[in-house]
Amino acid sequence: MTGRRRETEAPAGGPAPALPPVLPGVVVRAGTVATASLADVDALVLPVAPGADGDEGVQPRHGTVEAAVRYGVDLADLADRHDADGSAGSVHTIHLPRPLGGARELPWSGLPARVLLVGVGAGTPADLRKAGAAVARATRGLGGVVTTAAADTDDDGTGAFVEGYLLGAYRHPTGAAKPGPGPAATLTLLGDHGAIEPAQHVARATWLARALTVTPASTKTPAWLADQAVAAVEAAGRPDQLTVTVLGPDEIAARGFGGLAAVGAGSVHGPRFVTVRYVPAAARGRHVVVVGKGITFDSGGLAIKPRESMVGMKTDMAGSAVALATVLGAASLGVPHRVTALLPLAENAFGGASYRPGDVLRVYGGTTVEIANTDAEGRLVLADALAHADADLDPDVLVDVATLTGAATLGLGKQHGALYSADEALAAGLVRAGAASGDALWRMPLVPEYRAALDSAVADVRHVADPGVGGGSITAALFLQRFAGRRRWAHLDIAGPARSASASHEVPEGATGFGVRVLLRWLRDL
C-alpha cells in the first residue's frame, strides 16, 4: 500500500457502508418436508409452477405434495383461492389459523402457521432468481425460513435462487432507524443442493457496489472512497493476493494523469487514483484490467447541469464501485485470472480552478484533448486510466465500465447496459455472461464513419462530437477506444441500469450494482 494521502477535512453526514457487507444466513440441510423438524421455523416456502396446457390451477413442485400431506391441508385448493398462477417471482402467503385457547389440536399444530407459495415459472435460473428475490421480500423481519424451492434443480438453479434471495434481501444503508420490517430471515434450503458459496460471493460483491454507490456525496469524497477501497482490501484478509495503491493530487499531476487532474481541479476535495490488484496463488489465466469511472458527484462543472439532472449524480461513480467489487469478488471466488481494478476518482465541481470548454488537456501518454463540454468529464478520467493500463500494465483484456452517456439510456432504456467492442469473441462472451447473470448487455456498433466527428483543429482529438452528429454513446465509445491501444477491449455504458426508479425482483430502487454480476460471471467463464 503506497502513496496514500489523507485529506484534513472529515466528510460528514450519511452512513459508511460495512466492509465487507454482512449478508443474511443461508444454510443447506438434508431431508424432506415429510421428515424434517420444522420447530422454531417462522415460514415454510413451497414452490409451484404454472399449470400445463389444459390443466387448471398450479402444479406443485418439490416438497409441496409432502407438505400438503403433513399439514393435512389441500394446498392446491388454497393456491386457487389465492389466485396463485405459479409465475416466476409471484408469492402468496397463507396464514393458517391457530386453535382458540389451545382447546383442540389442529393437523398443523407444531408446524409453521405461515406457508408461502412461490412461483418458480419454468424453473430456469432466471425464474429461480426472481423466486428467491420474492421470498426475501415476503419474509423480511422473520427469523427462520425453510424452503424446497430449489431442491430439484441443478447447481446453476440453486445458485440463482440463493443469489436472488440475497440480492432481494438487500436494503440501502441508512444513518437512522427507519420503520418497517427488520432484516432478512435466515434461509434454510431443504434437500440436496450443490455449493452455494459462489452465489454468496457474487451477492456480497453486488451489495458492496450498491452501498458505495448510494452513499451521499457529502460523505463520499474521492479520499473517502479511496479509503473504502483500502479498508475493503484489508478486510478481505488476503495480503498475499490483494494489494492496493492510492495516489493523491500531487502524484496524479506528477505522473501525467492530465484528465483526472483537470476534472478534479474545481473541487475542494482533490482527486485520487486507486489501483487494486488481485494475483491468485496459482495464476494460470489471463490478466484482466477493469477500469471504473469514479465521479463522486457530477455538477457538470462550468457546463452546470439543471437541478433535475443533478439530483442523482452521487451515483456517477457506479463504475468505480463495480470495478472494486469485481476485483474483490474475483479474489473471494478464487478465479484463476489476475484482475486489476483502476479507479480514477474525482468530484466534478466548479470554481476558479475548473477546467473550461476550449481548453486543451494532455492526458496520460501525451495525447492532447480539446474540451468541448465539461459535463463530459467521465471519458477524460477513463482516458487516463485506459492509457495507463495499455502502456504500463500489459493486460490481456481491458474492460471499462461507466455511467457515461444519457444517449445509452435513450437507446436502450433502463434494463440493458450498452456493450461496445471490436473483438467478436470478447463481445459474445460478455453478452452470454450478461444473459446468464441477470445483468443484460446489448451490443452496440462502433461506427467507423463517426470517428471524424471527434476531429480537432487544435488537439489530437476532441472529446465530444457536435450535438448534431447524434449517436452520443457511440462517439463516446470511439473516443475511449483510441486509449485502449490494440488491446482486446470492451466498454460497458451502464448509465441506464446502474440506477432504478423502483424495486423489481432482485433489483432495488436506487443504486443497483449493475455490472458486478456480469463481470464476475464472465471472469468465471473466461
Mean pLDDT over 455-469 rounds to 93
Indicate the helix (H) or strand (E) that contains 59: strand 58-60
Find the catalytic residue in 286, 305, 443, 482.
305
Mean pLDDT over 340-368 rounds to 97
Mean pLDDT over 114-136 rounds to 96
- 315, 350, 308, 283: which is closest to 214 by C-alpha? 315
Which among 195, 213, 232 is the end of a domain? 195
Mean pLDDT over 303-312 rounds to 92
Q: Band the pLDDT of 181: cuts 50, 70, 90.
A: low
Say if residue 301 is in the same domain as residue 171. Answer: no
Q: pTM here?
A: 0.94
Q: How far apart are CA 437 and CA 418, in angstroms?
A: 16
Domains of the chain: total: 2
More confident residue, 182 or 298: 298
Specify the pLDDT at position 57: 80
Q: How far apart are CA 284 and CA 463, in angstroms?
A: 38
Q: Band the pLDDT of 306: cuts 50, 70, 90.
A: very high
Q: Beta partners for 118? A: 47, 91
Helix pair 197-214, 516-525: axis angle to 10 deg: 140
How big, in percent rounded to 5, are the helix, strand and coil portions of the chain?
Answer: 35, 20, 45
Which among 174, 195, 216 is the end of a domain? 195
CATH, residue 365: 3.40.630.10
Q: Band the pLDDT of 184: cuts 50, 70, 90.
A: confident
Q: Which three cell numbers stand for residue 289?
A: 484490467
Res. 103: pLDDT tops 70:
no
Strands (E), 216-354: 242-247, 272-278, 287-292, 294-298, 338-348
Domain-located, residue 440: yes
- Residue type for position 303: A
Q: Domain of residue 78: give its range.
A: 26-195
Biggest CA–CA distance in the chain, Å, is 91
Specify the pLDDT at position 54: 59
Cβ 384 vs Cβ 247: under 8 Å: no
- DSSP-derived pairing of the beta strands 242-247 and 461-462: unpaired
Domain-located, residue 488: yes
Specify the pLDDT at position 175: 59
Q: How far apart are CA 239 and CA 278, in angstroms?
A: 10
Say if residue 121 is in the same domain as residue 246. Answer: no
Q: How far apart are CA 187 and CA 105, in angstroms?
A: 28
Percent of the chain with pLDDT over 90: 78
CATH, residue 55: 3.40.220.10
More confident residue, 476 or 13: 476
Say if residue 279 is in the same domain as residue 149. Answer: no
Q: Band the pLDDT of 484: cuts 50, 70, 90.
A: very high
Catalytic residue list contains 305 = yes
Say if residue 150 is in the same domain as residue 249. Answer: no
Mean pLDDT over 275-279 rounds to 98
Task: Among 62-76, 235-249, 425-439, name the one with the lowest average pLDDT.
Answer: 62-76
Specify the pLDDT at position 4: 39
Find the catalytic residue in 220, 272, 379, 487.
379
Which among 132, 164, 195 is the end of a domain? 195
Say if residue 265 is in the same domain as residue 378. Answer: yes
Q: Band the pLDDT of 270: cuts 50, 70, 90.
A: very high
Q: In whole angstroms, what separates CA 109 from the centre of its chain?
A: 43
Catalytic residue list contains 255 = no
